[in-house]
Amino acid sequence: MLLDEHPIWLDALEDILSSKAIRVVGRATSPRAALKLVDSEKPDALLASLELWSSEMDGVECLRRARELAPGLGIVAFSTHHDPLHLEAAVAAGADACLPKTAAVSEVTEAVQHCLGRGKPKSRTRARSASVGPKQPTLTTRELEIVQLAAHGYTNAQIAERLWVTKWTVKFHLVNAYRKLGVSNRTQAARYLFDHGLSGLPVKRSS
């Protein structure tokens, strides 16, 4: 299920998803229309833009209501802003992943595939109840890769250059990873990785 005010963006996003055999069951250009489709079509995931300038309901509120309608819904939020405030608001409203609209195609498809359950439990409720022992956070491949590089002392700019992404993309993935790990900065994240044996990424610094 897709939500954005601009049909051309919806066209592009649907083409990207179709190339990965991900079927789009509905498209909307307003939050209220999107919520009706979430309720009627029962999609597995919602991809929504946070900036909905012509609508009375903003994107964050739409995500919150969508989460209430469908607790097991995977949610990917897109934003033209790159500041932690918007990111944290989206996560608090129920977003499973947050990406800038400048994200690479591979990042978009990876985020959607994880929200569809190809790599993590689809329902947050099921994720909690299915765990018998201590809960282990589930990072996406890209999140783990970026946190590992950060733990080895790479700056956001160096990580972005190494992975051929923007530094804002690095920041989005780091904040998502921090939330999942229950930490607030890269020092704490590095300590978590070292304590849990997850820091073993083979890193070769560029000379």
How many domains is the chain partitioned into structurally?
A: 2
134 falls within a domain: no
How does residue 82 score in pLDDT terms, banded at 50, 70 and 90?
A: low
Q: Which domain holds residue 155?
A: 141-195
What are the Cα distances from residue 120, in Å, to 103, 110, 140, 169?
21, 12, 8, 21
150 falls within a domain: yes
- Tell me how far apart the alpha carbons of residues 15 and 17 are, in angstroms, rounded to a whole number: 6
Residues 104 and 146 in one domain: no
Convert the pLDDT of each residue in 42-55 to its tens digit: 999 999 998 888 88
Q: Is the pTM of this model over 0.75?
A: no
In what side-by-side order are the strands of the sheet with 2-3? 27-28, 2-3, 45-49, 74-79, 97-100
Q: Which two tokens stand for residue 14?
A: 């649907």
